[in-house]
Structure 1
């Protein structure tokens, strides 16, 4: 989103932004309740006197954790760059939050290297786990995995673990790394030492963004956020031990990539509601990318289907949804768009362009670059925008109304050139009473409560 348009939204209070999306919005809310969804939003955002997080009237936040503070475990300091996150039920009505840290070699605060949880001593990324009691107070904060790199997003499993994704393809011997990176790792929020730091190599080595697990079949869907043309692919992994529980993905399986016949680039699809029947899944020639990155590999005469900025991925109802944050012809995409949400129905082998974002020229719209998304228990879809200027968490309901839920107030820019860290990792407590969200920079984890219904 352009800075100018974000400033307009900020000046108007960024309340209900009008009809922001086109497409089959009801598809996005599969399995979510309808009666409680906020028609018209929660009202304008009010400036936070503390200068951290602007919220609507009746809502409040609690800072759970900030980068540089001491971890309660005594293992070191809270790492930088808080990113993807998920909430799991804890003991006695509590919650366990598993939080990614998208740290590159230059990160200020690395994930502490805790024995038994380290993959590569040269990696500064990983996960931390926050333990909250029934009142929402932080009772523990510890390392979940360390020595990984650029842990961006991921996804929860049906058996209660977190799959954390490395958004890099860096090799051993570069940037101080001792091992190859670009893998998915499993983290047990209840006992991280149970899962350790074992790369799930069969799920592929590429710039992973997010994953979603089909709770009926155990198939794992994966997005690739490659930064150079040709762009990333959408994958599925067929495990040898589907739904086998913690550690079962180590048994291996088959990695495949999506092919839409006749469509080399999803950005070229412009009409919301477009449906492709009988899409194909092609085996990946070399999942470990030992010689050539997967997206460059030879998939045969039919080629393979690419898409720019494949990011969020989640399961809803009987389908998997994935996000293309944007596409630009100037970057090499076949067409320009401001954000898409795609729906894949495994039963019918059917791919649908469910929702389109933008356009950028209308100040009533929330703009482009949707990143992390989640379904709220009250029926709304929460979207973390990843663009320039002011940063918001937006909600959208079945009517297509878009409303601001939160706005970052921590100015990290220079005098005369304000800037704000993006939001990431939006998720809800199992009982739906609390929204958790991260500010990427400065790394901050918030718990937001209020009249969600």
Structure 2
């Protein structure tokens, strides 16, 4: 997400006259295309969360029976090397290490900053003073108590979200297209990097095969042959991408060496196809009327993924791909991948034609059926836009952002909207409940991530930069 919160099929080819699509079979049934989070292929359900209770400390409202621990706080907690914890906490992943947890966390910092990520030898990509972003690694016990924090990668820019890998690492995404300027930036930016959490391994090497653009988040598919990536950009709106491996190749812990080659594999942009077989130009044309309807998808190769002279998204015309305002969180399952559109504001010049504005969409792309469905929709909400009376705050939601799938198959969303910010529990195709509310300020929540055992939900407030470990009877409501 931006720091300013307010403001077709494989084998498809691009020809001189437009896009050529492979033959597409019949659209699958809803049961075939649905996000099959359970073995029966049905949507998960859960009990309603009870009303949130205000925090006497004025920090985080939670349901009764839940509590939080502050894991890190920018400028106050310390790294093992003595520097203060960096600020602008963002995308986060949780890994188990036997009895403890390891968090790998992004810091969305884009310039020289007193709370930037320290450039520790061996972790640095760009040594310019303007490259103050990066990732830290945080060890905690099973209750979320801080056992130590250190730098995983440094010298990057605006590390927004990312995605965990099946081999236990973190792909951190730069949300920028800034190039080297010879002074504050000595290298080009807008890449994905891989981060190890062992405190010893660091390969600050851009994965150029995944493209250079304003990355938001990503997910590796179950076959380790594709990576799905979102772009948070406007003018024109961003795209949803897929990297496809060469035939027979499978991603793994040494793939960073191959992905450093800009020409390795294929980078493709998504086109959602209408009933006429042509791409729908922007997701803003679709509303809750299309909730749960599967649409066929085509994947169109990106001509110049390193964007040497033209941004990746600008290399396409609107009749070739499907754009979206703020493609944000991405999270993969065994069956497919979720991707979020945070919002499209009324009156913005980025909306095509007379398309209807929306405040938030969550999509699910099904690997097997090669279709995409709108599974959660937050309509433009006047009460949320203007702010509401306190007693209604926990009903008014807008602008979902980061997303994670719980151990029980439902979704947790971080809200980045115009009113009160929440952490939300959402059932695809079903209800959404507030499970935490920011009482401290108007900052967005970022980086929700569950421990694999379902005991702890880690989540951040981007400003002033706080990581929370929330514990309680999660299974009673989500299991």
Query: TM-score by structure 2 length?
Result: 0.81
Alignment equivalent of 2:302, drawn from 277, 281, 284: 284
Q: Distance in 2 between matches of 1:369 and 1:194?
A: 36
Corresponding residue pairs, total = 416
| 2:456 paired residue number | 434
Tell me whether 1:164 sits opposite 2:172 in the alignment: yes
| Aligned residue number for residue 369 of structure 1 | 399
1:279-327: CA deviation from partner (whole Å, max 9, x where unpaired): 321111100001110111147x952221111001111241112111112
* Higher alpha-carbon deviation: 396-405 or 72-81: 396-405
Query: Which residue does 1:58 correspond to in 2?
Result: 65
- Residue of 144, 150, 162 corresponding to 2:152: 144
Is the 1:61–1:449 Cα contact (8 Å) retained in structure 2? Answer: yes
Matched, 1:250 2:257: yes
**What is the correspondence of 1:299-448 to structure 2 with a 5 Å cutoff?**
302-331=319-348, 332-334=350-352, 335=355, 336-361=357-382, 365-397=395-427, 400-411=430-441, 420-448=442-470
Q: State the Cα distance separating 1:408 from its structure 2 match.
A: 1.4
Following the alignment from structure 2 to structure 1, what is the Cα–Cα distance between the partners of residues 85 and 165? 25
Consecutive unaligned residues of structure 1, counting only runs of 5 or more, are 1-22, 412-419
Equivalences for 1:169-184 in 2 at 5 Å? 169-173=177-181, 176-184=184-192
Per the TM alignment, residue 345 of structure 1 is displaced from its structure 2 partner at its CA by 1.9
Match of 1:68 in 2: 75
Q: Distance in 1 between matches of 2:345 and 2:44?
A: 37
Partner residue, 1:117: 123
2:16 matched residue in structure 1: none
Aligned residue number for residue 82 of structure 1: 89
Distance in 2, matches of 1:244 and 1:303, equals 29
Aligned residue for 2:347, secondary structure, equals helix
Conservation of the 8 A alpha-carbon contact between 2:330 and 2:339: yes
Equivalent-residue separation in structure 1 for 2:379 and 2:72 (angstroms): 33
Q: Which of 77, 95, 103 pairs up with 2:101? A: 95
Highest relative contact order (Cα 8 Å, sep 6+), 1 or 2?
1
Asked if the contact 1:394–1:403 (Cα under 8 Å) also holds between the matched residues in 2, the reply is yes
**2:474 match:** 452
Q: Deviations over 1:219-256 (max 9, x none)?
A: 10000000x22111111011348443223043132111
Segment of structure 1 superposing worse, 47-56 or 307-316: 47-56
Q: CA deviation at 1:152?
A: 0.5
3-state SS of 2:201 partner: helix
Shift of residue 31, structure 1, vs aligned partner: 4.1
Aligned: 1:273 with 2:292:
yes
How far is the alpha carbon of 1:142 from its aligned partner? 0.3
List gaps (5 residues or longer) in structure 2.
1-29, 259-263, 273-277, 384-391
* CA distance in 2: counterparts of 1:128 and 1:32, whole angstroms: 36
Paired with 2:225 and 2:82, the residues of 1 have a C-alpha distance of 35
CA contact (8 A) 2:37 2:44 kept: no
Shift of 1:72: 3.8
Q: Distance in 2 between matches of 1:423 and 1:163?
A: 20
SS in 2 for 1:45: coil
Say if 1:396 and 1:350 are closer, same or farther in 2 by CA, change over 3 A: closer
Distance 2:373 2:223 in 1: 21
Partner of 1:230: 236
Partner Cα distance (2:43, 2:158) in 1 = 39
**Contact 1:366–1:402 at 8 Å: present in 2 too?**
no
